[in-house]
Structure 1
Protein backbone atom coordinates (compact mmCIF):
# COMPACT_ATOMS: atom_id res chain seq x y z
CA UNK A 1 0.00 0.00 0.00
CA UNK A 2 1.27 3.45 -0.90
CA UNK A 3 2.14 5.61 2.11
CA UNK A 4 0.15 8.85 1.83
CA UNK A 5 1.24 10.34 5.16
CA UNK A 6 2.77 13.79 4.97
CA UNK A 7 6.43 13.86 6.08
CA UNK A 8 6.88 15.79 9.29
CA UNK A 9 9.67 17.80 7.72
CA UNK A 10 7.43 19.03 4.92
CA UNK A 11 7.22 22.75 5.72
CA UNK A 12 3.92 23.05 3.87
CA UNK A 13 2.30 20.78 6.41
CA UNK A 14 3.48 22.63 9.51
CA UNK A 15 1.13 25.28 10.82
CA UNK A 16 3.07 28.34 11.94
CA UNK A 17 1.28 30.08 14.80
CA UNK A 18 0.72 33.79 14.19
CA UNK A 19 2.84 36.22 16.13
CA UNK A 20 0.97 37.89 18.96
CA UNK A 21 0.01 41.47 18.24
CA UNK A 22 -0.27 44.43 20.52
CA UNK A 23 1.83 45.42 23.50
CA UNK A 24 4.16 42.86 25.04
CA UNK A 25 3.34 41.85 28.60
CA UNK A 26 6.51 43.54 29.78
CA UNK A 27 5.46 46.90 28.28
CA UNK A 28 6.75 49.70 30.50
CA UNK A 29 4.78 52.87 29.83
CA UNK A 30 7.23 55.17 31.62
CA UNK A 31 10.20 53.72 29.76
CA UNK A 32 8.31 54.03 26.47
CA UNK A 33 7.47 57.67 27.20
CA UNK A 34 11.07 58.39 28.10
CA UNK A 35 12.24 56.89 24.81
CA UNK A 36 9.63 58.83 22.82
CA UNK A 37 10.56 62.01 24.66
CA UNK A 38 14.17 61.65 23.52
CA UNK A 39 13.05 61.32 19.89
CA UNK A 40 10.69 64.31 20.00
CA UNK A 41 13.31 66.35 21.85
CA UNK A 42 15.91 65.62 19.19
CA UNK A 43 13.76 65.80 16.04
CA UNK A 44 10.71 67.83 17.01
CA UNK A 45 7.07 66.85 16.59
CA UNK A 46 6.94 67.00 12.81
CA UNK A 47 10.44 65.59 12.29
CA UNK A 48 9.84 62.47 14.39
CA UNK A 49 8.44 59.65 12.26
CA UNK A 50 6.43 56.68 13.49
CA UNK A 51 9.40 54.52 12.50
CA UNK A 52 11.72 56.67 14.66
CA UNK A 53 9.36 56.38 17.60
CA UNK A 54 8.67 52.64 17.40
CA UNK A 55 12.37 51.92 17.00
CA UNK A 56 13.28 53.96 20.08
CA UNK A 57 10.37 52.60 22.12
CA UNK A 58 11.06 49.01 21.01
CA UNK A 59 7.45 48.42 19.98
CA UNK A 60 5.67 47.86 16.67
CA UNK A 61 3.20 50.39 15.21
CA UNK A 62 0.08 48.49 16.39
CA UNK A 63 1.50 48.53 19.93
CA UNK A 64 2.12 52.26 19.77
CA UNK A 65 -1.41 52.96 18.56
CA UNK A 66 -2.91 50.57 21.12
CA UNK A 67 -1.08 52.27 23.97
CA UNK A 68 -1.32 55.92 22.94
CA UNK A 69 -3.85 56.26 20.12
CA UNK A 70 -1.83 58.32 17.68
CA UNK A 71 1.35 60.35 17.32
CA UNK A 72 -0.20 63.55 18.67
CA UNK A 73 -1.59 61.84 21.77
CA UNK A 74 1.81 60.26 22.35
CA UNK A 75 3.43 63.68 22.04
CA UNK A 76 1.02 65.15 24.59
CA UNK A 77 1.87 62.30 26.96
CA UNK A 78 5.60 62.97 26.53
CA UNK A 79 5.05 66.66 27.29
CA UNK A 80 3.43 65.72 30.60
CA UNK A 81 6.21 63.20 31.26
CA UNK A 82 8.79 65.90 30.56
CA UNK A 83 7.06 68.38 32.87
CA UNK A 84 6.96 65.87 35.73
CA UNK A 85 10.64 65.00 35.43
CA UNK A 86 11.78 68.62 35.07
CA UNK A 87 9.62 70.61 37.45
CA UNK A 88 8.93 74.27 36.74
CA UNK A 89 8.13 75.04 40.37
CA UNK A 90 9.78 78.17 41.68
CA UNK A 91 12.01 76.69 44.38
CA UNK A 92 9.58 77.29 47.29
CA UNK A 93 12.27 76.56 49.88
CA UNK A 94 14.19 79.73 48.95
CA UNK A 95 13.66 82.57 51.42
CA UNK A 96 13.46 85.44 48.94
CA UNK A 97 12.06 85.94 45.46
CA UNK A 98 15.50 86.82 44.15
CA UNK A 99 16.97 83.58 45.49
CA UNK A 100 14.06 81.61 44.03
CA UNK A 101 14.42 83.12 40.55
CA UNK A 102 18.20 82.71 40.53
CA UNK A 103 18.05 79.12 41.78
CA UNK A 104 15.44 78.31 39.15
CA UNK A 105 17.50 79.81 36.31
CA UNK A 106 20.64 77.98 37.42
CA UNK A 107 18.69 74.73 37.69
CA UNK A 108 17.49 75.27 34.12
CA UNK A 109 21.01 76.11 32.93
CA UNK A 110 22.18 72.72 34.21
CA UNK A 111 19.21 70.87 32.68
CA UNK A 112 19.47 72.61 29.30
CA UNK A 113 23.10 71.59 28.87
CA UNK A 114 23.03 68.31 30.79
CA UNK A 115 24.15 64.92 29.52
CA UNK A 116 21.86 62.00 28.75
CA UNK A 117 19.36 63.91 26.63
CA UNK A 118 19.28 66.32 23.67
CA UNK A 119 20.33 69.87 24.44
CA UNK A 120 17.86 72.66 24.97
CA UNK A 121 14.23 72.50 26.07
CA UNK A 122 11.64 70.06 24.71
CA UNK A 123 8.88 72.66 25.04
CA UNK A 124 10.86 75.17 22.98
CA UNK A 125 11.55 72.52 20.34
CA UNK A 126 7.85 71.67 20.33
CA UNK A 127 6.89 75.31 19.89
CA UNK A 128 8.95 75.64 16.72
CA UNK A 129 8.23 72.20 15.23
CA UNK A 130 4.52 71.64 15.82
CA UNK A 131 3.22 74.39 13.54
CA UNK A 132 0.84 72.02 11.74
CA UNK A 133 -0.46 70.35 14.91
CA UNK A 134 -4.10 70.43 15.97
CA UNK A 135 -5.59 73.33 17.95
CA UNK A 136 -5.69 71.02 20.99
CA UNK A 137 -1.95 70.43 20.89
CA UNK A 138 -1.24 74.10 20.24
CA UNK A 139 -3.37 75.01 23.27
CA UNK A 140 -1.50 72.56 25.50
CA UNK A 141 1.85 73.95 24.37
CA UNK A 142 0.65 77.51 24.98
CA UNK A 143 -0.43 76.56 28.50
CA UNK A 144 2.88 74.90 29.27
CA UNK A 145 4.79 77.93 28.01
CA UNK A 146 2.90 80.23 30.35
CA UNK A 147 3.18 78.05 33.46
CA UNK A 148 6.79 78.99 34.21
CA UNK A 149 5.99 82.66 33.74
CA UNK A 150 2.95 82.49 36.03
CA UNK A 151 4.89 80.60 38.71
CA UNK A 152 7.63 83.21 38.56
CA UNK A 153 5.16 86.10 38.69
CA UNK A 154 3.45 84.65 41.76
CA UNK A 155 6.79 84.16 43.52
CA UNK A 156 7.77 87.77 42.81
CA UNK A 157 4.40 88.99 44.08
CA UNK A 158 4.99 87.01 47.25
CA UNK A 159 8.39 88.71 47.55
CA UNK A 160 6.71 92.10 47.32
CA UNK A 161 4.27 91.08 50.04
CA UNK A 162 7.07 89.68 52.23
CA UNK A 163 9.15 92.82 51.78
CA UNK A 164 12.18 91.40 49.97
CA UNK A 165 11.15 92.94 46.63
CA UNK A 166 10.56 96.71 46.48
CA UNK A 167 6.98 97.91 46.59
CA UNK A 168 5.95 99.15 43.17
CA UNK A 169 7.82 96.42 41.29
CA UNK A 170 5.80 95.18 38.33
CA UNK A 171 5.77 91.42 38.97
CA UNK A 172 4.32 90.64 35.54
CA UNK A 173 6.94 92.70 33.71
CA UNK A 174 9.77 91.18 35.74
CA UNK A 175 8.48 87.65 35.09
CA UNK A 176 8.31 88.44 31.37
CA UNK A 177 11.93 89.56 31.45
CA UNK A 178 13.27 86.44 33.16
CA UNK A 179 11.21 84.00 31.09
CA UNK A 180 12.57 85.74 28.00
CA UNK A 181 16.07 85.21 29.39
CA UNK A 182 15.19 81.55 29.93
CA UNK A 183 13.98 81.21 26.34
CA UNK A 184 17.25 82.64 25.09
CA UNK A 185 19.21 80.25 27.29
CA UNK A 186 17.26 77.32 25.83
CA UNK A 187 18.09 78.39 22.29
CA UNK A 188 21.75 78.96 23.14
CA UNK A 189 21.94 75.49 24.67
CA UNK A 190 20.44 74.04 21.50
CA UNK A 191 23.14 75.86 19.54
CA UNK A 192 25.93 74.42 21.70
CA UNK A 193 26.42 76.88 24.57
CA UNK A 194 28.17 75.42 27.61
CA UNK A 195 26.82 75.22 31.14
CA UNK A 196 29.39 77.83 32.16
CA UNK A 197 28.14 80.21 29.47
CA UNK A 198 24.54 79.89 30.64
CA UNK A 199 25.52 80.48 34.26
CA UNK A 200 27.30 83.64 33.13
CA UNK A 201 24.04 84.73 31.50
CA UNK A 202 22.29 84.15 34.82
CA UNK A 203 24.97 86.20 36.61
CA UNK A 204 24.32 89.14 34.31
CA UNK A 205 20.54 88.80 34.40
CA UNK A 206 20.41 88.77 38.18
CA UNK A 207 22.19 92.13 38.39
CA UNK A 208 18.93 93.57 37.06
CA UNK A 209 16.72 92.07 39.75
CA UNK A 210 15.29 94.94 41.83
CA UNK A 211 16.44 95.22 45.42
CA UNK A 212 15.77 97.54 48.31
CA UNK A 213 18.87 99.57 47.47
CA UNK A 214 17.88 100.08 43.79
Structure 2
Protein backbone atom coordinates (compact mmCIF):
# COMPACT_ATOMS: atom_id res chain seq x y z
CA UNK A 1 0.00 0.00 0.00
CA UNK A 2 1.39 3.38 -0.99
CA UNK A 3 1.46 5.89 1.89
CA UNK A 4 -0.76 8.91 1.44
CA UNK A 5 0.54 12.38 0.80
CA UNK A 6 -0.50 13.43 4.28
CA UNK A 7 2.06 11.20 6.04
CA UNK A 8 4.27 12.98 8.58
CA UNK A 9 7.76 14.11 7.58
CA UNK A 10 10.52 11.61 8.28
CA UNK A 11 12.87 14.24 9.72
CA UNK A 12 12.96 16.74 12.55
CA UNK A 13 12.21 20.08 10.88
CA UNK A 14 13.68 22.19 13.70
CA UNK A 15 16.90 20.20 13.72
CA UNK A 16 17.16 20.43 9.93
CA UNK A 17 16.59 24.18 10.10
CA UNK A 18 19.35 24.53 12.73
CA UNK A 19 21.78 22.68 10.47
CA UNK A 20 20.87 24.85 7.50
CA UNK A 21 21.28 27.98 9.62
CA UNK A 22 24.78 26.94 10.69
CA UNK A 23 25.77 26.24 7.07
CA UNK A 24 24.50 29.64 5.90
CA UNK A 25 26.22 31.24 8.90
CA UNK A 26 29.51 29.61 7.99
CA UNK A 27 29.50 30.15 4.21
CA UNK A 28 26.96 32.84 3.35
CA UNK A 29 23.91 32.59 1.10
CA UNK A 30 25.44 32.39 -2.37
CA UNK A 31 28.16 29.88 -1.45
CA UNK A 32 25.61 27.30 -0.30
CA UNK A 33 23.86 25.15 -2.88
CA UNK A 34 20.73 23.06 -2.54
CA UNK A 35 22.79 19.87 -2.57
CA UNK A 36 24.96 21.25 0.25
CA UNK A 37 21.86 22.09 2.26
CA UNK A 38 20.22 18.71 1.74
CA UNK A 39 23.40 16.92 2.78
CA UNK A 40 23.89 19.07 5.88
CA UNK A 41 20.23 18.70 6.85
CA UNK A 42 20.26 14.93 6.32
CA UNK A 43 17.40 14.99 3.84
CA UNK A 44 16.83 14.71 0.10
CA UNK A 45 16.17 17.74 -2.09
CA UNK A 46 12.43 17.03 -2.59
CA UNK A 47 11.95 16.98 1.17
CA UNK A 48 13.78 20.31 1.42
CA UNK A 49 11.44 21.91 -1.10
CA UNK A 50 8.36 20.31 0.44
CA UNK A 51 9.25 21.62 3.89
CA UNK A 52 10.75 25.02 3.04
CA UNK A 53 9.55 25.82 -0.52
CA UNK A 54 12.85 27.27 -1.82
CA UNK A 55 16.45 28.02 -0.86
CA UNK A 56 15.57 31.68 -0.32
CA UNK A 57 12.61 30.83 1.91
CA UNK A 58 14.83 28.45 3.86
CA UNK A 59 17.46 31.14 4.27
CA UNK A 60 14.93 33.71 5.47
CA UNK A 61 13.56 31.24 8.01
CA UNK A 62 17.11 30.39 9.08
CA UNK A 63 17.90 34.09 9.60
CA UNK A 64 14.79 34.50 11.73
CA UNK A 65 15.77 31.44 13.76
CA UNK A 66 19.26 32.89 14.15
CA UNK A 67 17.83 36.23 15.31
CA UNK A 68 15.69 34.47 17.90
CA UNK A 69 18.35 32.07 19.18
CA UNK A 70 21.52 34.11 18.91
CA UNK A 71 20.53 37.74 18.36
CA UNK A 72 18.49 38.31 21.50
CA UNK A 73 21.28 40.41 22.98
CA UNK A 74 20.39 43.18 20.50
CA UNK A 75 16.87 43.81 21.74
CA UNK A 76 17.91 43.17 25.33
CA UNK A 77 20.61 45.82 25.06
CA UNK A 78 18.69 48.46 23.15
CA UNK A 79 15.11 47.84 24.17
CA UNK A 80 15.33 48.52 27.90
CA UNK A 81 15.62 51.62 30.01
CA UNK A 82 19.41 51.95 30.13
CA UNK A 83 21.02 55.14 28.87
CA UNK A 84 22.70 55.06 25.48
CA UNK A 85 26.22 54.46 26.75
CA UNK A 86 25.23 51.45 28.83
CA UNK A 87 22.98 50.15 26.06
CA UNK A 88 25.70 50.43 23.42
CA UNK A 89 28.29 48.86 25.72
CA UNK A 90 25.92 45.95 26.28
CA UNK A 91 25.26 45.68 22.53
CA UNK A 92 28.94 45.54 21.60
CA UNK A 93 29.88 43.28 24.50
CA UNK A 94 27.04 40.94 23.56
CA UNK A 95 28.30 40.88 19.99
CA UNK A 96 31.80 40.00 21.15
CA UNK A 97 30.38 37.01 23.03
CA UNK A 98 27.91 35.89 20.37
CA UNK A 99 30.37 36.15 17.50
CA UNK A 100 32.91 33.89 19.22
CA UNK A 101 30.67 31.09 20.44
CA UNK A 102 32.34 27.69 20.75
CA UNK A 103 31.15 25.11 18.22
CA UNK A 104 29.52 27.78 16.08
CA UNK A 105 30.83 29.74 13.09
CA UNK A 106 32.64 32.94 13.93
CA UNK A 107 30.96 36.25 13.20
CA UNK A 108 27.31 37.14 12.63
CA UNK A 109 24.96 35.67 10.04
CA UNK A 110 23.00 38.93 9.72
CA UNK A 111 26.21 40.85 8.99
CA UNK A 112 28.14 38.29 6.94
CA UNK A 113 25.33 36.36 5.25
CA UNK A 114 25.33 38.21 1.93
CA UNK A 115 28.18 40.72 1.81
CA UNK A 116 29.22 39.85 -1.75
CA UNK A 117 26.10 38.60 -3.44
CA UNK A 118 24.96 37.73 -6.93
CA UNK A 119 22.18 39.72 -8.62
CA UNK A 120 19.88 36.77 -7.98
CA UNK A 121 20.43 37.20 -4.24
CA UNK A 122 19.62 40.92 -4.18
CA UNK A 123 16.38 40.40 -2.28
CA UNK A 124 18.16 38.28 0.31
CA UNK A 125 20.85 40.93 0.76
CA UNK A 126 18.21 43.65 1.11
CA UNK A 127 16.49 41.68 3.86
CA UNK A 128 19.74 41.52 5.83
CA UNK A 129 20.38 45.23 5.22
CA UNK A 130 16.94 45.98 6.62
CA UNK A 131 17.77 44.06 9.80
CA UNK A 132 21.05 45.96 10.19
CA UNK A 133 19.24 49.25 9.55
CA UNK A 134 16.80 48.35 12.33
CA UNK A 135 19.71 48.00 14.76
CA UNK A 136 21.09 51.37 13.63
CA UNK A 137 17.68 52.98 14.16
CA UNK A 138 17.43 51.57 17.69
CA UNK A 139 20.90 52.90 18.52
CA UNK A 140 20.12 56.33 17.09
CA UNK A 141 16.87 56.50 19.06
CA UNK A 142 18.74 55.74 22.29
CA UNK A 143 21.36 58.39 21.57
CA UNK A 144 18.82 61.04 20.59
CA UNK A 145 16.88 60.43 23.79
CA UNK A 146 20.05 61.07 25.80
CA UNK A 147 20.73 64.27 23.87
CA UNK A 148 17.17 65.46 24.43
CA UNK A 149 17.35 64.70 28.15
CA UNK A 150 20.79 66.24 28.68
CA UNK A 151 22.73 63.05 29.27
CA UNK A 152 24.77 63.83 26.17
CA UNK A 153 25.94 67.24 24.90
CA UNK A 154 23.51 69.07 22.63
CA UNK A 155 26.05 69.21 19.82
CA UNK A 156 26.16 65.40 19.49
CA UNK A 157 24.70 64.22 16.17
CA UNK A 158 22.74 61.09 17.01
CA UNK A 159 22.88 59.77 13.46
CA UNK A 160 26.65 60.13 13.20
CA UNK A 161 27.28 58.52 16.57
CA UNK A 162 24.91 55.67 15.71
CA UNK A 163 26.83 55.11 12.47
CA UNK A 164 30.04 54.85 14.49
CA UNK A 165 28.45 52.27 16.80
CA UNK A 166 27.18 50.19 13.88
CA UNK A 167 30.58 50.31 12.20
CA UNK A 168 32.16 48.92 15.37
CA UNK A 169 29.40 46.29 15.68
CA UNK A 170 29.94 45.13 12.11
CA UNK A 171 33.72 45.29 12.45
CA UNK A 172 33.61 42.93 15.40
CA UNK A 173 31.96 40.32 13.19
CA UNK A 174 34.50 40.70 10.41
CA UNK A 175 37.37 40.49 12.90
CA UNK A 176 35.89 37.35 14.43
CA UNK A 177 35.75 35.81 10.96
CA UNK A 178 39.42 36.65 10.57
CA UNK A 179 40.27 34.79 13.77
CA UNK A 180 40.06 37.42 16.51
CA UNK A 181 39.35 35.92 19.92
CA UNK A 182 36.69 36.99 22.39
CA UNK A 183 39.38 38.75 24.43
CA UNK A 184 40.47 40.63 21.31
CA UNK A 185 36.92 41.77 20.60
CA UNK A 186 36.21 42.77 24.19
CA UNK A 187 39.39 44.86 24.21
CA UNK A 188 38.23 46.53 21.00
CA UNK A 189 34.86 47.30 22.62
CA UNK A 190 36.57 48.99 25.56
CA UNK A 191 38.72 51.06 23.21
CA UNK A 192 35.71 52.04 21.11
CA UNK A 193 33.73 53.16 24.15
CA UNK A 194 36.59 55.45 25.22
CA UNK A 195 35.48 57.70 22.37
CA UNK A 196 31.96 58.08 23.79
CA UNK A 197 31.08 61.74 24.49
CA UNK A 198 30.45 62.84 28.07
CA UNK A 199 27.81 65.33 29.28
CA UNK A 200 30.45 67.80 30.43
CA UNK A 201 32.51 67.50 27.24
CA UNK A 202 32.86 70.93 25.63
CA UNK A 203 31.40 71.40 22.20
CA UNK A 204 29.53 73.75 19.96
CA UNK A 205 25.85 74.21 20.64
State the TM-score bracket (shorter-chain normalisation).
Answer: 0.7 to 0.9
Q: What is residue 155 of structure 2 aligned with on the other side?
A: 168
Q: What is residue 10 of structure 1 aligned with on the other side?
A: none
Q: What is residue 173 of structure 2 aligned with on the other side?
A: 186
SS of aligned partner of 2:101: coil
Q: CA deviation at 1:193?
A: 0.1
Q: TM-score of the superposition, structure 1-length normalised? A: 0.83
Q: CA deviation at 1:139?
A: 2.3
Contact 2:78–2:138 (CA under 8 A) maintained in structure 1:
no
Which structure has the greater CA radius of gyration?
1
Is there any run of 5+ residues in structure 2 with no aligned partner, and where? Answer: none
CA RMSD of aligned residues (A): 2.2
Contact 1:23–1:63 (CA under 8 A) maintained in structure 2:
no
Instruction: Give the counterpart of 2:48 among 55, 64, 69.
Output: 64
SS of aligned partner of 1:136: helix
Contact 1:97–1:165 (CA under 8 A) maintained in structure 2:
no
Distance 2:152 2:94 in 1: 22
Please say if 1:206 is aligned against 2:193: yes
Distance 1:40 1:59 in 2: 16
Distance 1:211 1:59 in 2: 55
Taking a change above 3 Å as real, the CA distance of residues 24 and 115 of structure 1, as seen in their structure-2 partners, is farther
The number of residue pairs the alignment matches comes to 198
SS of aligned partner of 1:133: helix
Distance 2:9 2:154 in 1: 59
Q: CA deviation at 1:203?
A: 0.7
Please say if 1:40 is aligned against 2:24: yes
Q: TM-score of the superposition, structure 2-length normalised? A: 0.87
Taking a change above 3 Å as real, the CA distance of residues 81 and 133 of structure 1, as seen in their structure-2 partners, is farther
